[in-house]
Amino acid sequence: MSVGATVWLTGLPSAGKTTIARALAARLRDEGRRVEVLDGDEIREFLSAGLGFSREDRDVNVRRIGFVAQLLASHGVTVLVPVIAPYAHAREEVRGRHQAQGTGYVEVHVATPVDVCSARDVKGLYARQAAGELAGLTGVDDPYEVPADPDLRIAAHEQGVGESVAALYALLGEKGLVRP
């Protein structure tokens, strides 16, 4: 069985998490690896429908995603998880679950500054928040707790997607989570 692992990409909305995850997934699939992307928006629509954006609901959402990711990873799938996951304690809970189960886990902080994310605004969230139509936007009027010690920090505003994917792929190789 191939080695499985969870690659948790955290960062602000429009930081580049999903773009990097999808590009890495394509590379891994091209190599014949089993890969799943657990996109935060899709999870909210299907697995976490009905949850709001309170701190408690965000934590429940992260725990649900972490459970599914660990389950898939324990069966040899490389699971890429591009989600905001704004609170450090919830991310640590997911890491701890993976460690307790002996499942590979890496945390990647896609460290794009809020002004760059706002300029990208791929979903229109920052514009809606600025217009007073949206409250609780992570990194603007709701907290985002920057990972203190991620396995990798990607400055997606300073490097392209290819360079970001290469750095992440190299990390997975160093940790023995992808094998030639």
Q: The whole model's pTM is what?
A: 0.94
Residue 1 has pLDDT above 50, yes or no: no
User: Could you tell me which of 108, 106, 104, 122 has the C-alpha nearest to residue 41?
Assistant: 122
Do 112 and 156 touch, CB atoms closer than 8 A?
Answer: yes
CATH code of the domain covering residue 128: 3.40.50.300
Q: What is the DSSP letter of 54?
A: S
What average pLDDT does this structure show over 108-120?
95
Residue 120's domain spans which residues?
A: 5-174
Within a domain: residue 81? yes
- Total number of domains constituting the chain: 1
41 CB neighbour count, 10 Å cutoff: 11
State the Cα–Cα distance between residues 139 and 111, nearest whole angstrom.
12
The whole-number pLDDT of residue 67 equals 97
Residue 123 lies in a domain: yes
Separation CA 6–CA 35 (nearest Å) = 10
| Structural domain contains residue 106 | yes
Q: Is residue 179 part of a domain?
A: no
- Average of per-residue pLDDT across 106-121: 95
pLDDT single digits (tens) 2-53: 689 999 999 999 999 999 999 999 999 999 999 999 998 889 888 888 898 8
Q: Is residue 60 in a domain?
A: yes
Q: Return the percentage of the chain with pLDDT > 90, whole number.
A: 79
How confident is the model over 51-75, as a mean pLDDT? Answer: 94
Q: Enumerate residues 6+ apart whose C-beta is below 8 A from 53.
A: 136, 142
Does residue 180 lie within any of the structural domains? Answer: no
Neighbour order of strands in the sheet with 78-82:
35-37, 78-82, 5-10, 104-110, 152-154
Mean pLDDT of 115-138: 90
